[in-house]
């Protein structure tokens, strides 16, 4: 907590100097460690597929006769809201259109399909594989080892007892601090981006030019709502808000879908998904004809992988918390496939509909270039503009609240001695700290005239996710060792 307040001090008082320092370090990380992110993502996906279809897949989180704590619909709603949320609104139109207008690969396949395939790749199973690795490691510690909630507890069996005093007092403390810091950086990045999109929507709706102080006000409002939800708890607060998010998202998706070329959307969805499946490995390695170039990888893929890694600790632990009673096979298949397919269909509907609009205009003048206003510009072409745009703003707020209240809950577990139901004091503390730090990120995003929140977030996350990515490799090895012991005991 002291480190966060110390860093917040520099964000508020030395904003430009802090931004410049982050920029220098991020360039170094991207130059030397960018490809490592790609290898790690592919490795996580392949490992989870092998485990899901092996005899290890029958192992259950918790006692063998334990029943799932939540219905499948509630489970999917909570993991999707916590793991993606507002990002699908932020990028719904802007990203597919960018990929169509600037194809990342030189190929004979149509620009529409390439655009959808690359969007699938960046929002697909790799992101959920990062979350799943953390979820399974945390679930093992929680429900099999009966240990408190802490990332370091996934390492408690790797050293002989005589070395554990040093291990626990030093390295494991470092692991927990690293996890908390990376979680916070990833979360406040999402809050800053989401609040900026809400401001962009309000500017567009009211034809105003509201400045970044509105973003600060929105961040504070989201912090208040999130703290209230976290104080209410998982069953009454987080579960209900997550379910509301899913219903609103499905309504918005169907609203656009039924007014678009349904046959073309379905055709391109299946073809883009087919391309994504067969091209997944070369895409993941960025080799040969599937290498979009260093500039593209830096601006898009490396940033996305860093973002998913930053969200992995708190999202993974939250998924573990709501997945008690489910088998590893069900968790892996459910977490990798269901949210990914939902995202793919979402991006196909909005992306393909935007492609059709551009084709009908006969010219494209960058109408969807702005990541913060693109979806509002897009919805101008549909009826009930005011109602639907208001729903998007409400959904943005609701998604952000769900993400932040989940993080408040998980961070509370970390600092309340691993208590799966952290005290109200710890929830209050993290609610306030996350709000303060989120405001600092907004200020960082306006340190220069030519920067915004997205630019600042990209640079910061690429730095903070590096040590966590290295930690994930070690954690995965330890988890495999522990799960093999559980399987041996079952066999005997």
CATH number at residue 284: 1.20.1740
Residue 63 burial class via C-beta count within 10 angstroms: exposed 0-12, middle 13-18, buried 19 and up = exposed
The stretch 43-50 carries a mean pLDDT of: 95
CB atoms within 10 A of CB 99: 25
CB atoms within 10 A of CB 281: 12
How much is the pLDDT for 427?
A: 85
pLDDT bracket for residue 183 (50, 70, 90): confident
pLDDT in tens, 403-432: 777 778 778 877 777 676 788 888 888 888
The stretch 449-472 carries a mean pLDDT of: 72
pLDDT in tens, 221-256: 888 887 877 777 655 556 677 777 778 888 999 999
The answer to whether residue 17 scores a pLDDT higher than 80 is no
Number of domains in the chain: 1
Predicted TM-score of the model (pTM): 0.84
Sign of CA dihedral 8, 15, 369, 461: negative
For residues 171 and 413, what is the distance between their CA atoms, to the nearest angstrom?
A: 19
Residues spanned by the domain of 100: 2-491
Sign of CA dihedral 408, 402, 76, 201: negative
Q: Which two tokens stand for residue 289?
A: 């004809």
The stretch 90-118 carries a mean pLDDT of: 91
The answer to whether residue 134 scores a pLDDT higher than 60 is yes
Q: Are 352 and 261 within 8 A, CB to CB?
A: yes
pLDDT bracket for residue 257 (50, 70, 90): very high
How much is the pLDDT for 160?
A: 44
Q: Are 437 and 8 within 8 A, CB to CB?
A: yes
């Amino acid at each position: 907590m002291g480190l966060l307040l110390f860093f917040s001090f520099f964000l508020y008082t030395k904003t430009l100097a802090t931004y410049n320092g982050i920029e220098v370090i991020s360039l170094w990380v991207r130059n030397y460690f960018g490809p490592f992110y790609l290898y790690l993502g592919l490795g996580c996906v392949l490992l989870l597929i092998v485990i899901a279809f092996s005899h290890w897949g029958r192992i259950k989180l918790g006692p063998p006769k334990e029943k799932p704590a939540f219905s499948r619909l509630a489970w999917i709603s909570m993991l999707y809201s916590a793991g993606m949320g507002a990002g699908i609104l932020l990028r719904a139109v802007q990203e597919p259109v960018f990929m169509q207008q600037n194809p990342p690969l030189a190929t004979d396949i149509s620009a529409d399909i390439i655009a959808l395939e690359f969007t699938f790749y960046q929002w697909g199973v790799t992101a959920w594989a990062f979350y799943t690795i953390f979820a399974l490691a945390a679930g093992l510690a929680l429900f099999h080892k009966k240990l408190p909630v802490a990332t370091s507890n996934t390492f408690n069996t790797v050293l002989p007892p005589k070395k554990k005093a040093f291990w626990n007092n030093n390295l494991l403390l470092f692991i927990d601090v690293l996890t908390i810091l990376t979680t916070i950086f990833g979360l406040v990045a999402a809050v800053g981006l989401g609040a900026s999109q809400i401001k962009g929507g309000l500017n567009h709706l009211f034809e105003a030019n509201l400045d970044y102080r509105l973003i600060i006000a929105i961040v504070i409002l989201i912090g208040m709502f999130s703290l209230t939800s976290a104080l209410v708890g998982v069953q009454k607060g987080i579960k209900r808000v997550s379910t509301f998010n899913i219903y609103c998202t499905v309504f918005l998706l169907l609203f656009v879908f039924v007014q678009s070329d349904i046959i073309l959307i379905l055709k391109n969805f299946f073809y883009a998904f087919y391309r994504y499946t067969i091209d997944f490995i070369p895409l993941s390695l960025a080799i040969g004809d599937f290498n979009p170039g260093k500039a593209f990888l830096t601006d898009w893929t490396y940033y996305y992988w860093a973002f998913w890694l930053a969200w992995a600790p708190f999202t993974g632990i939250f998924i573990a918390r709501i997945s008690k009673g489910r088998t590893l096979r069900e968790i892996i298949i459910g977490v990798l496939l269901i949210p990914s397919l939902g995202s793919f269909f979402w991006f196909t509907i909005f992306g393909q509909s935007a492609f059709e609009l551009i084709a009908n205009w006969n010219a494209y003048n960058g109408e969807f270039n702005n990541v913060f206003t693109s979806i509002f510009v897009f919805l101008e072409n549909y009826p009930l503009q005011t109602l639907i745009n208001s729903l998007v703003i409400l959904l943005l707020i609701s998604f952000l609240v769900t993400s932040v209240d989940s993080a408040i809950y998980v961070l509370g577990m970390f600092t309340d001695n691993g208590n799966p139901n952290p005290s109200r004091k710890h929830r209050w503390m993290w609610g306030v700290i996350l709000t303060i730090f989120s405001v600092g990120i907004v200020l960082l995003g306006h340190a220069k005239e030519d920067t915004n929140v997205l630019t600042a977030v990209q640079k910061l996350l690429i730095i903070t996710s590096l040590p966590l990515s290295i930690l994930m490799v070690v954690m995965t090895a330890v988890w495999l060792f522990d799960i093999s012991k559980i399987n041996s005991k079952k066999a005997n």
